[in-house]
Chain A
């Protein structure tokens, strides 16, 4: 783990896997989208609206996974002061917020024709919305301080506070009765026919590979921002009359 704390080591590995994950993302989209939209069957109850599932479920899974990654990075930053862990968390947050928003929007566009409503305040939908607010809070808090390090620390603490909400999203449909139905997939069984699982897994793969690809781009970007800050500091330090 400490090996990844070194930015050079980290970027060496990231650059090596970058073309591969980008390729996987493109391939999964290329095969997944036509299957999801055209060749996969309509559902016996929900007709063609089931095609929204191939966007809604991957977005939900990614939103939760990215939150765990962001919280783990924040913990590593707070405990061991790993700067790379913090950069990964920071680079992940906008994508986590985007996937949460997509999960909610696609869910609403599915709920209206099937359930008869865009939104209800049941435990599943409410806890997902709370996760979205934690993402927004993380993004806002990072920029709220004059001293960037204090902002990083405050937002890392917020990320850790919010992590207790994420398992609640997962288990809300089992713990309470909700309008949202329980999970169709678990490690041991599936309530989904195989020709619907294929586009689901392809789109999940596409979303996951997209996340890793853009994550590498964003981490590069964050590293450059840190370098620019350092360069500015040393410039100012070199010119004492300007620093006054």
Chain B
């Protein structure tokens, strides 16, 4: 074996080892890399009231109620729902049917008390006229976001 091919195999083996090690680490820390949980996962986890976590889902149509600065709404992952209350300014993209992520903790009343609400948007970009036309013709597919609150779909 020449020195050059030895160096080639050394680099390839090194990259392979590094990749395998990293894959193991990422799998082991999977729960920490996941940015938010779906209402289904929250229901299964029974988080303690002092445990901070993030939940994500689509804002249910017609669920948003504003009382002064407090907002109460429900998010869904299409199989479970979770009510959320929040006091503060909502991001511009917050609207019904839109994906959001809330950070906070579960209240004893089963309502998630959020300190922060972030709006998630999907990968679709189009002018308003196109979106209206799609909705009118019935070709609008709602909720490419909907599959993301359940990470199982994407992973396995």
Interfacial residues, chain A to chain B (CB-CB below 8 A): 41-46, 50, 53, 75, 78-80, 113-117, 120, 122-123, 160-161, 163-164, 168, 174-179, 181-184, 191-193, 195-196
8 A-B pairs with least C-beta separation: A116-B91, A41-B127, A44-B131, A193-B126, A184-B123, A44-B128, A122-B35, A192-B125
8 Å CB interface, B70-121 against A: 89-94, 98, 101, 116-121
List the count of A-B residue pairs having beta carbons below 8 Å apart: 124
Looking at chain B, what size class is its interface with the partner chain?
35 or more
Pairs A–B under 8 Å by Cβ, sample size 17: A46-B121, A114-B92, A116-B89, A160-B15, A161-B18, A175-B155, A177-B35, A177-B151, A179-B35, A181-B120, A184-B125, A191-B124, A191-B144, A192-B125, A195-B127, A196-B125, A196-B127
Contact A41 B18 (CB under 8 A): no
Residues facing A in B33-72 (CB within 8 A) are 33-36, 56
Contact, CB under 8 Å: B154 / A44: no
Residues of A within 8 A of B98 (CB): 45
Q: Tell me the complex Cα distance, A44–B92, Å.
A: 13
For residue B8, CB closer than 8 A to chain A, the reply is yes
Whether B127 pairs with A117 at a CB distance below 8 angstroms is: no
The answer to whether B126 touches A115 (Cβ under 8 A) is no
Given contacts A114-B92, A177-B149, contact A45 B121 (CB under 8 A): yes
Instruction: Check if B19 is an interface residue, CB within 8 A of chain A.
Output: yes
**With a CB–CB cut-off of 8 A, which chain A residues contact B4?**
79-80
Q: Which of A113, A174, A175, A196 has the most CB of B within 10 A?
A: A175
Q: Classify the secondary structure of B's interface with A.
A: mixed
Within 8 A of A (CB), among B20-41: 22, 26, 30, 33-36
Instruction: Determine if B143 is an interface residue (Cβ-Cβ < 8 Å).
Output: no
Residues of chain B contacted by A120 (CB below 8 angstroms): 35, 118
Knowing that A43-B126, A114-B121 touch, tell me 13 more A-B residue pairs with CB under 8 angstroms: A42-B127, A113-B92, A115-B91, A115-B118, A160-B15, A168-B22, A177-B34, A177-B35, A177-B154, A179-B120, A181-B145, A191-B144, A193-B127
Nearest Cβ in chain B — how far from A170, in angstroms? 14
Could you tell me the distance in whole angstroms from the C-beta of A122 to the nearest C-beta in chain B?
4
Complex Cα gap A182–B153 (Å): 14
Q: Which residue of A lies closest to B20 (CB)?
A: A164
> By the criterion CB–CB under 8 Å, are A42 and B119 in contact?
no
A176-B124 contact in complex given A79-B11, A80-B4, C-beta closer than 8 Å: no
B11 touches A115 (CB 8 A): no
Query: Smallest CB–CB gap between A18 and chain B, Å?
Result: 31
CA distance A179 to B15 in the complex (A): 29
B1 within 8 A of A: no
**Alpha-carbon separation in the docked complex, A114 to B11 (Å):** 43
B117: A residues at CB distance < 8 A: 116
Which of A175, A184, A195 is close to B154, meaning CB atoms less than 8 Å apart?
A175
Instruction: Select which of B7, B116, B123 is within 8 A of A183 by beta carbon.
Output: B123
On whether the beta carbons of A179 and B127 are closer than 8 Å, the reply is: no
Contact A115/B120 with A44-B131, A75-B11, A177-B149 known, Cβ cut-off 8 Å: yes
Instruction: Name the distance in Å between A134's Cβ and chain B's nearest Cβ.
Output: 13
**Are A114 and B119 in contact, CB atoms less than 8 angstroms apart?**
yes
B35 pairs with A44, CB closer than 8 A = no
Q: How far is the CB of B125 from chain A (nearest CB, A)?
A: 4
Q: A116 near B119 (CB under 8 angstroms)?
A: yes
Q: Can you name the residue of chain A whose Cβ is closest to the Cβ of B126?
A: A193
